[in-house]
Structure 1
Amino acid sequence: MASSIPLPAVARLCTLYQVLCDLNESGQQRVSSSALGEILGVGAHNVRKDISYLGETASAGGGYNVINLIELIALRMGFNREKVTCVVGLGHLGSAILHHERFRGGEFKIVAGFDSNINLIETMHSGVNLFPAYEITETVKKMHIELAILTVPSSGAQEVAQRLIDGGIEGIINFTPVVIKAPSSVLVRNVDLTGEFRVLSALLHLRENN
């Protein structure tokens, strides 16, 4: 079912899931499609259509049951199974991700960190196992790592990605500006921070000069 959902709808449902989790934590039990649309910046009909991709769900006049909708999205999108993850590149960004409390267990669990700097690995204090970059392929296979976060210098991005691919990685979040070449069996999400700043800067410029 999830594979037939359009990518924009998948992205909105992922955001919706976090919104619903926040509402649940605040004690809210029900929410309307109009209220969700206002939070997400889309129309209520878009919210209802996105949710319809998940299958039938009760939405009476009082709106959606928050917990039921959280559970439905988690089930259909696979959020109810822990994903084993690693970080490659332990500079400032990689280290921050490695030690982030959200990745200590639950939906995503970082079990390994890699870096080409052996000295860094030996001196870094971490509750996560750290390995030299040349051990990526072997370690990914051994620990059954599914997802990787790539924060290495651009010059080595493709080589490191290939080691991950050779180890059987299923998905990569790429924080480098390099477009990673990967087989269709490996999903790559590119997060170019400089590019995002450019888009934001351009939008601000266009708004100010309109």
Structure 2
Amino acid sequence: MCKKLSVPTITRLCMVFQQCDELLPQGVARISSSQMGKKIGVPAHTIRKDINCLGEVGDTGSGYDVARLKRHLERALGFEKSQKACVVGLGRLGSALMDYEKFQASGFSVVAGFDSSVNRIETIKTQVPVYPAYEMEDVIRREAIEMALLAVPAHVAQATADVLVSCGIRGIVNFAPVVIEVPASQVQVRHMNVINEMRVLSSLMTLGD
């Protein structure tokens, strides 16, 4: 069992978990590391190595028991506890994130939304409570929110991230098209830059020709 998991390992294990979540309703009871690897684009030996980092999962001679593997990953990766999240920036993207139905089913609960525009707050249609940006600290601390989805314009992303960190947020999914800096020892950040992903995809397409 590994003492500390790297970010790439955690990322792959989350992909394995997602596959287990999709396979069970299809009636798939067992899956080999080779089959799993093909599904997520990772070599079979890497799949086995990653899963072994979490300890024994049971007999793997004829593949992994999908239900058992899912439970094992759920415990090891901390998915048993529901995570409270908030959305900061309620433009088109932020508004869509507010009511994304699969959050709840995946163990994430969006409990608040924030925006600097009072007009936007008054007109947005959502079942999630929304607040002006200046109330972030009070609401985040009161609701014990640890995760934030940041969907603000690039020019205010860093300042908004700084406020979130000061409020006690421990994880940020950054949708702003700019890299934000946070204290690495306190806060984890995932950057979701669509343009950069398209650049990567374009390069892969070009270099693969």
Assess same fold via TM > 0.5: yes
2:198 corresponding residue in structure 1? 197
1:20 pairs with 2:20: yes
2:56 corresponding residue in structure 1? 56
Alignment of 1:1-210 (within 5 A): 4-104=4-104, 106-183=106-183, 184-208=185-209
In the TM superposition, what whole-angstrom CA distance separates every residue of 1:18-56 from its partner, at most 9, and x where no partner exists?
001100011111111111111121221111111001101
* Structure 2: runs of 5 or more not aligned: none
CA distance in 2, matches of 1:104, 1:73: 19
CA distance in 1, matches of 2:105, 2:161: 24
Q: CA deviation at 1:205?
A: 2.5
Amino acid at match of 2:158: Q
User: For the aligned residues, what is the CA RMSD?
Assistant: 1.5
Question: CA, structure 1 residues 178+49, in 2 after alignment: closer, same or farther (shift >3 Å)?
Answer: same
In the TM superposition, what whole-angstrom CA distance separates every residue of 1:146-205 from its partner, at most 9, and x where no partner exists?
100001001111111111111100100111122212112111111111111111122222
CA distance in 2, matches of 1:135, 1:111: 14
TM-score, length-normalised on structure 2?
0.94
CA distance in 2, matches of 1:51, 1:10: 10
CA distance in 1, matches of 2:106, 2:159: 30
Question: CA, structure 1 residues 42+109, in 2 after alignment: closer, same or farther (shift >3 Å)?
Answer: same
1:173 is paired with a residue of what secondary structure?
strand
In the TM superposition, what whole-angstrom CA distance separates every residue of 1:109-140 from its partner, at most 9, and x where no partner exists?
00001111111111111110001111112211
TM-score, length-normalised on structure 1?
0.94
* Structure 1: runs of 5 or more not aligned: none
1:59 is paired with a residue of what secondary structure?
coil
Amino acid at match of 1:200: L
Amino acid at match of 1:125: K
Q: Is the 8 A contact 1:31 1:66 kept in 2?
A: yes
Amino acid at match of 1:147: M
Identity over aligned residues, as a percent?
A: 44
CA distance in 2, matches of 1:144, 1:155: 27
Q: Is the 8 A contact 1:82 1:105 kept in 2?
A: no
CA distance in 2, matches of 1:111, 1:59: 41
Amino acid at match of 1:141: R
